[in-house]
Amino acid sequence: MKNTALTLLFIVILCGGCASTGVSSQNAVIHAKNQAAPALVHIRPVKEVFQRGRRREVLITGSGFIISPDGYVVTNEHVAGRSSLVRCVLGDKTEVSAVVVGTDTFTDIAVLKLDTDRTDLPFVTMGESVGLEAGQTVMALGSPHGLARSVSMGIVSVTDRYLAGNNGQSISPYNNWIQTDAAINPGNSGGPLVNLRGEVIGINTRRLSSADNVGFAIPIDVAKRVVDEIIETGKVTRSTTGLKFQEMTRKTDDPAQRGVVISDVDPLSPAFQARIRPGDILTAVNGIPTHARFVEDLTTVRNLVADVPVGSEVTLSIRRGTQAADIAMKTAEKSRFVGEESEFEAWGCSLSELSPDVIRRAQLTSRNGVVTSGVRPGGLAANAGLKPGDIILRIDDSEIQNLSSFKEIFDGLIEDGTPLVLLTVKNGALSRFVLLKQEPLAEIQGEN
């Protein structure tokens, strides 16, 4: 009887403790949600998109969060970038417009400013991501599938996930990701990932489409640096030497080998001019040792170079076989992933600025030219044989420097009604001529 009584007492105490813990946990979740939810923003941008040579505007939905009482909002670049109009619905259901202060394509971050005179807006508390641990409880807030003011809960699965695209290159070269099983769906992008203290520790950005509840957030420590620079200057500036990196396991199984493998060198870069070549090993940047045994370590190396002031001298320590050397060079400014794009309706095509990857793949000897991003079936460009991916280097005898110079020449050709236009085009290693036959201006604009 005595043992039975003790057993029953133990069960009662245990169950009471479980109930108490359950109530405590639920209160913590609700408290954390209440801390962040008032600053949650439902974002409805009108975005400019190009399809098959045509420009059109589409309305999408996304999420964001207010970070200051005067209305600065953080979201994703893929939500608000290239928007002609942004409408925001605040936590109290007030609807206001916003302007895009700046974006950073490399980290997929955008900063908005609400069009309001208020200085008492609710705003989030920024936490830290450096101390996150796998297993920690987190919540994802946002507007999944347009359902505003939604909350999902899960745990941190991995704190430093490295993600690569179909081309093997990092999706976000300057940060690893927080992986979580808190549900992140289309529309959640740009919303806050919050810990149980109600602090923002990440920005919900993407999910794994082939799996349920595998989502990824930008660490808030990375985001804070980007956001501060955008607010201060309107953009994010990084240095580059033109090097691409791979982890050391790609070249050696010896864990004692230190450094990072140089996998590619931009032929128009300072590093190429300094005779650094693929296969070399980078062992230090300005005397700071570099080591990337695994892919997760690559972002640290990239940031060492990126953080050097643009145009200043940097010393790279290089090892080639048994030889080692310190090579000094001046850094260049890192270009954006994707250049500006415009539609040229009279020709039935859209053109973009050249990105570094396009220049490298085409083996161009300069950065001059524009790339054909889309062609409208039945348009003048399509009938002439222009194809997506074609790089236009010259119009007649005029060299194309960039998208602005192309627009200037194009406007002159349309105004003059030049009947035949000869384009010098490159695609891959092959160059060719494309003869475009322009229609009279009256036919293009339509007879009245």
Q: Is residue 25 part of a domain?
A: no
Domain holding 163, by residue range, is 127-233
Do the Cβ atoms of 244 and 282 come closer than 8 Å? no
Asked if residue 132 and residue 109 are part of one domain, the reply reads: no
What is the domain-level CATH number for residue 439? Answer: 2.30.42.10
Residue 291 main-chain phi, psi, to 5 deg: -155, 125
Number of domains comprising the chain? 4
Q: Is residue 300 part of a domain?
A: yes
The stretch 163-171 carries a mean pLDDT of 77
Asked if residue 376 and residue 327 are part of one domain, the reply reads: no
The domain boundary, picked from 175, 198, 233, lies at 233
Q: Is residue 21 part of a domain?
A: no
| pLDDT score of 128 | 96
**Residues in a beta bridge with 161:** 177
Residue 364 CA, distance from chain mean position: 25
Asked if residue 328 and residue 382 are part of one domain, the reply reads: no
| Structure confidence by residue, pLDDT tens digits, 240-270 | 999 999 999 988 888 889 999 999 999 889 9
Asked if residue 164 and residue 148 are part of one domain, the reply reads: yes
Q: Is residue 170 part of a domain?
A: yes
From CA 277, how far away is CA 264, in angstroms rounded? 7
137's enclosing H/E stretch is strand 137-142
Asked if residue 216 and residue 140 are part of one domain, the reply reads: yes
Which residue is catalytic, options 104, 108, 297, 390? 108
Asked if residue 357 and residue 409 are part of one domain, the reply reads: yes
Asked if residue 222 and residue 277 are part of one domain, the reply reads: no
From CA 333, how far away is CA 367, in angstroms rounded? 14
Asked if residue 244 and residue 222 are part of one domain, the reply reads: no
| pLDDT score of 442 | 47
Asked if residue 104 and residue 64 are part of one domain, the reply reads: yes
Give the three-class secondary structure for 410.
Answer: helix
189 is catalytic: yes
What is the domain-level CATH number for residue 154? Answer: 2.40.10.10
335 is catalytic: no
Tokens 């320590």 locate to 317
Banded model confidence at residue 171, pLDDT cuts 50, 70, 90: confident
Asked if residue 345 and residue 326 are part of one domain, the reply reads: no
* Pair of tokens at residue 25: 């946990």
Half-sphere exposure of 120 (CA within 13 A, CB side): 1
78 is catalytic: yes
Q: Is residue 12 part of a domain?
A: no
pTM assigned to the model: 0.85
The stretch 126-153 carries a mean pLDDT of 93
Q: Is residue 201 part of a domain?
A: yes
Tokens 């004692």 locate to 256
Q: Is residue 51 part of a domain?
A: yes
Mean pLDDT of the chain: 89
Asked if residue 96 and residue 140 are part of one domain, the reply reads: no
| Structure confidence by residue, pLDDT tens digits, 37-55 | 999 999 999 988 888 888 8
| Structure confidence by residue, pLDDT tens digits, 137-150 | 999 999 998 888 89
Ranges of beta strands (E only) in 208-312 are 215-219, 239-240, 243-246, 260-265, 281-285, 288-289
Asked if residue 229 and residue 246 are part of one domain, the reply reads: no
The domain boundary, picked from 92, 114, 136, lies at 114
Which residue is catalytic, options 150, 152, 189, 373? 189
Q: Is residue 26 part of a domain?
A: no
The domain boundary, picked from 90, 114, 138, lies at 114
